[in-house]
Amino acid sequence: MRLAKGFPVIAITGPRQSGKTTLARSAFPDKPYLTLEDPDTRQLAESDPRGLLSHYSDGLILDEAQRSPQLFSYLQGFVDNQLVPGKYVLTGSQQFGLLSGITQSLAGRVGMVQLLPFAMEELNSAGKLPDDVDRLMLRGMYPPLYDRALLPEDWFAGYVNTYIERDVRQLINVRDLSVFQRFVRMCAARTGQLLNLSSLSTDCGITHNTAAAWISVLEASYIIFLLRPHFANFNKRLVKTPKLYFHDTGLAGWLLGIREHQQLAFHAQRGALFENLVVTEFLKGRFNRGRQPDLFFWRDSRGLEVDLLLDDGISLKPVEIKSGQTIVPDYMTSLKKWCELSGNPERPALLVYGGDKMLASGNISLIPWREMSGLAAT
């Protein structure tokens, strides 16, 4: 790993069951492994942190490190005493605990890796990418669904009950868990939409501040992410509200009550889930290569919108997302208008769609969903 050559501590974050432990143990097979999910290990870390770290003087993998936040201060001393690249590997599934510990005690000493569920590129290389996009969206891409004989509806039910609710209880005091469950489902119903906290709080019967806090918790637990708008150019009448997406379409589909891919084919949320799939693929492609995401969308007050803008630090590449299998001229309207507004009508642009043919129309490349796997990594 590139970061392990320069940083004494590597931190791997991401949702539960995304493969963080597997990655850490396979990338660092010679390091001893401890998990702070184990009560005995956690008690030792809390009662004698210096003794625990002294016992592993050559470094170790520490799983779910955010469970013992006081350990970070002692870890700083061991790191500064002997700066050995890649000596310690931390994993964590809650951004709040892990990142706050790093910020307070280990700033400048940690290389960060964010690991999301499988990308299409990984499934394709393993020969496990479904041929049907509806099946892919409903199954999602969490690793256990591809290395075990599990039905998605069974696995997601357990995932929500075991992980989301437990993590939530560790982060905030939810008096009525059923209200929070409804809140998560209402978020799924708003996939791909502008985040409207007032509407969301009203529909769930909670305050605006509670809705904002719960959104932060879902972000910290890698359940959802917010795509920020790009508003640095063209005009002042631009939307500045983020859009809401889930890190996994399978989870979003389960929360929407969709259990069979036949249901999804005619579901009102199919287009939103397809958009979610494409956006997360670009997000994974950048994370998997240790890059900043630098993904945005663009929308003005008149409703003109580009689903995704890829920022490489030099230029912006617009991406439009359409779930239909048949190309119609209207699909390219927003891309053409955006390129004109940017002052470069011939700017390269992408249209990712639900069909299976690679096409081109002027400066616009039309990309089938299956061919997106390699493209998202660029």
User: How confident is the model over 86-103, as a mean pLDDT?
Assistant: 79
The reported pLDDT for the residue numbered 305 is 92
Q: How far apart are CA 15 and CA 117, in angstroms?
A: 8
Query: Is 203's pLDDT higher than 90?
Result: yes
Q: What is the largest CA-CA distance in the chain?
A: 67
Residues of the chain within CATH 3.40.50.300 domain(s) are: 3-114
Say which DSSP state 347 is in. Answer: -
User: How confident is the model over 96-110, as a mean pLDDT?
Assistant: 76
The reported pLDDT for the residue numbered 342 is 86
Confidence of residue 96 (pLDDT cuts 50, 70, 90): low
> pLDDT per residue over 232-277, tens digit each?
665 656 778 999 999 999 999 999 999 998 999 899 999 999 999 9
Q: How far apart are CA 17 and CA 286, in angstroms?
A: 20
The correct CATH number of 3-114 out of 3.30.40.10, 3.40.50.300, 3.40.50.1110, 1.10.150.20 is 3.40.50.300
Residue linked to tokens 């469950």? 181
Contact call for residues 257 and 248 (beta carbons, < 8 A): no
Confidence of residue 303 (pLDDT cuts 50, 70, 90): confident
The order of strands in the sheet holding 9-13 is: 33-35, 60-63, 88-92, 9-13, 110-114
> pLDDT per residue over 331-349, tens digit each?
999 999 999 988 889 999 9
> pLDDT per residue over 149-167, tens digit each?
999 999 999 999 887 777 7
